[in-house]
Amino acid sequence: MSKNTYKEFSISSWAIDNKMTVYVIIAIILFLGVFSYYTMPRESFPEIVETKIYVSSINPGNSAEDVEKFITEPLEEEFNNIGGVREITSTTLQDYSMVIIEFEEDVAIPNAKQQVKDKVDQVKAETTWPTLDNGAKVEPNVFDLNLSEEQPILNINLTGDYPVQQLKDYAEYLQDKIELLAPIKEATIRGVEDKEVEIGVDIYKMTASKVSFNDIINAVRGENNTISGGNVISNGVEKNIRILGEIENPKELENIVVKRDGGNIFLKDIASIKFKEEDPTTFAREYNNPVVMLDVKKRAGKNMIEAVENIKEIIETEQENYLPEGLHISLTNDQSIKTQNQVDDLVNNIIFGVILVVIVLMFFLGFRNALFVGFAIPLSMLLSLFILSSFGFTLNTMVLFGLVMGLGMLVDNGIVVVENVYSLMSEGMPRKQAAKQGMGEIAWPIIASTATTLAAFFPLGLWPGLIGKFMIYFPITLSVVLSSSLFVALIINSMLTSKFMETEEESLTKKKLVRWSLILAGVGAILLIAGFVLDVAGLRGIGNLSILAAIMFWVYKYFLAGAVESVSYTHLTLPTTPYV
């Protein structure tokens, strides 16, 4: 009794019997994939938030020992009572304290940050908490770090034959405009400092006049002050009266009386007053020349390329309408260029992958059958982009790396499916039966093959710590790509082979060759011209591909067709046994 070797894979058989449904699925994947590709935010690095909360405190004029005693240690004692804390580290310097609280991986950062703020408020309420010279309490700053928000995406350099402060004014003008953009977190000015009033006391004159430093501080503080003058009722409305006493011109400080014992002693008698820049804390150079720089950072999860384009539009508009012609503005450290190049490389790899796969496979399966595998590449990538976009992922370095690596692996499933169906049809089996039988034979093997490949990358997702958060995007992306290729192979390729696969190539007549070449070349030329006129890279790319396809038809007709027929149908054809 002979054993029945005929078997089917139910999902693939359903796809073969419901061709119209599969066509709808293909259309949905194409639309959602293209939509996701154009809407997914582009950035250099994935959004990674450390499970650490930082508490920094500034207390000027105090030694490291006092700062540790009155600020660092009380904070550490309270932070030890917070649940989920893994480690607390602190650094104490003169005038400065930094406490770092690291939480467990399962603790939500917003909740942890709020708990730390609550503990800080409790410590500040104690009577031993230090105060500043103006009577206000030292205010600790509680914050967390997001790596994608700390990396500058663009530097804007301003140079010209203008004073440094004038360049700073122009930079502040651009800063206000740029920070209004939704994707921008902040734009920091580098290479120039704020101005300050310096009171240079002559110690000998001060000693001779019997004036102390407290006398000078109190005198300046008392004169540089705006106070309330009470309230007045006018037409039934109570209004507040303010007595303005803040100093606007540093020259006014010279006439402040610092002591009245035996005569008035003015500040100008014992000190020199200068209005100058603060000590430099940042330096900005372009080709070794000093510049005033704007350091632009974007918000996490926002589109870097779109943000940079908006900034360039603002600069161009302000150069035409507000900024002087002699002001030179240059852009450096543009991270969007690198990100855009990575995305373009992915698209180029997909296109060349399709071309090379079709060229190689047509020697063994024929041109028509090779297109089934080639079609699976962009379809799998578009499906992957839609799934990744649904996860909230951005097109960053790690995601693009996973997509590029998966690109070389996703063709395997399609090749196995098409080749097995092709071999069954070569033996005489009808097309639809060969598709069902072929899928039944290799469905579980390709599922197992995909699963073992994913299992090899699974440990990367278990990497602990900050590096693990960075690396987890890679195995997730690769899993999505290979799973998408498996779906395309089992559902879409199975239907396409049952509908269109042939074991013998239809001859390409010269009339058909001319007609299709003219159509493709004409459409390509129109799209190419439109792409240059409208400055749309996508139209130029499709136009180039259409023209390339027209050229490849002639190459195939007169150079490759003979070799394909020789390899496919002469050397690799097996003796056939008709199926009944």
Residue 300 pLDDT exceeds 50: yes
| Banded pLDDT at 99 (limits 50, 70, 90) | very high
Token pair 């190459």: residue: 555
Which of 120-129, 217-226, 442-451, 521-530 has the weakest average pLDDT? 217-226
* Most confident range, picked from 369-373, 381-385, 524-528: 381-385
* Most confident range, picked from 194-198, 306-310, 542-546: 306-310
pLDDT at 574: 47
Sign of CA dihedral 67, 71, 74, 77: negative
Q: Do domains 52-145 and 153-189+290-332 have the same CATH topology?
A: yes
Residue 564 pLDDT exceeds 70: no
Reported as type and span, the H/E element at residue 100 is strand 96-103
CA distance 312 to 317: 9
Q: Where are the beta strands (DSSP E) in 244-327?
A: 257-259, 265-266, 271-277, 285-286, 289-290, 292-298
pLDDT at 357: 76
Token pair 């399609």: residue: 414
Percent of the chain with pLDDT strictly greater than 90: 15
pLDDT at 56: 92
| Residue range 115-142: mean pLDDT, rounded | 86
CA distance 160 to 162: 5
Helical ranges in 55-163 per DSSP H: 64-67, 73-79, 109-124, 147-150
Helical ranges in 228-294 per DSSP H: 267-270
Q: Please tell me which residue, 449 or 561, carries the higher pLDDT value.
A: 449
CB atoms within 10 A of CB 393: 23
What's the CATH fold of domain 153-189+290-332? Answer: Alpha-Beta Plaits (3.30.70)
Q: Which residues pair with 102 in a beta bridge?
A: 52, 87
Helical axes 335-365 vs 397-407, angle rounded to 10°: 10
What is the domain partition of the chain in residue ranges? Answer: 10-45+337-503, 52-145, 153-189+290-332, 196-277, 508-580
CB atoms within 10 A of CB 204: 9
| Residue range 189-194: mean pLDDT, rounded | 85
| Residue range 284-307: mean pLDDT, rounded | 86
Residues 6+ apart with CB under 8 A from 424: 434, 437, 438
Q: What is the CA radius of gyration of the chain?
A: 36
Q: What is the pLDDT of residues 524-558, one digit of tens each?
A: 888 888 888 877 777 777 777 788 777 877 777 77
**pTM of the full structure:** 0.71
What's the CATH fold of domain 10-45+337-503? Answer: Multidrug efflux transporter AcrB transmembrane fold (1.20.1640)
Cβ atoms of 321 and 201 within 8 Å: the answer is no
pLDDT at 484: 92
Residue 580 pLDDT exceeds 60: no
CA distance 232 to 213: 39
| Residue range 47-71: mean pLDDT, rounded | 87
Percent of the chain with pLDDT strictly greater than 70: 94
Do the bridges between strand 227-234 and strand 257-259 make them parallel or antiparallel, or are there none, so unpaired?
unpaired
Q: What is the pLDDT of residues 430-480, one digit of tens each?
A: 888 888 888 888 889 899 988 998 888 888 878 877 778 888 888 999 999
pLDDT at 540: 78
Determine the distance from the C-alpha atom of residue 500 to the mean position of all C-alpha atoms in its chain, rounded to a whole number.
Answer: 42
Cβ atoms of 454 and 409 within 8 Å: the answer is no
| Residue range 508-536: mean pLDDT, rounded | 81
* Most confident range, picked from 214-223, 283-292, 308-317, 528-537: 308-317
Class at the top of the CATH hierarchy for domain 196-277:
alpha beta
What architecture is the 52-145 domain classified under in CATH? Answer: 2-Layer Sandwich (3.30)
Residue type (1 letter), 397: T
| Residue range 298-313: mean pLDDT, rounded | 87
Residue 261 pLDDT exceeds 80: no
